[in-house]
Structure 1
Amino acid sequence: MDLEHRKLAREQQVQVEADRLRRHADLAAALLSASPDVRDAVIGEAKARVNRWREKLLCSEDFITRWDVILALPVERLAEEIVSDCDGWGRALRQNTPFTLNGGPAAGLALT
């Protein structure tokens, strides 16, 4: 029975990770087609969240540094990075994302 539970937990985790990737892919596509004002608001909110992590010591410096670099990229590269492997950090970065995928300025994007 223990083996069965572990197998189910692994399958559930794979689904969670696939959902995070899909939501970031939706965000990437929406950012590329958004108006500059909406795009700037969404990215600005993400940058503000990373700054809060830094100021309040809410997150590992590894995540903060990596997100700082990604959020400073031109939107075309940012869109590619948030769905990439990010040198082995992709899953972890999507788990600890500064983007609000259910509300905030991102609500103005056509996310599915």
Structure 2
Amino acid sequence: MRISRLIVVILLGTVFSVLYVYQQAEIFRLAYEGERKQSAFQELLDKNNVLRYNIEKSASLIRIGNKVSRDDQFQMPDTCRVVKVGSVASGTPAGREEGGVFTLASRIFSIKRQAEAHTIQH
């Protein structure tokens, strides 16, 4: 009876040891697989960013020419021209507060509404 009990204990210890080693090996295998998939994902993400950049920056000159020809307000600049900038995208002029009153600080630090450009003589 003692020998059979010893054999059962040794057999159970061996089974638990094998299961533990299998579990650890499976953890490492899954970690390597996850790392491989992560690197593949990062590579695809980098390729996607490069393709998006190329799409955004590769504007067709024909399309740009068509836009310019359709725009009636487009004019070639003279040698000296004053450009007036309209209000900001939100519809309120730069430096105007919610109450509609210009303050001294907003007048000093706001964006000027006029710019002058000169062409460079070669």
Task: Give the TM-score normalised by the residue count of structure 2.
Answer: 0.27
Looking at secondary structure, tell me which structure has more helix per residue: 1
Larger radius of gyration: 2
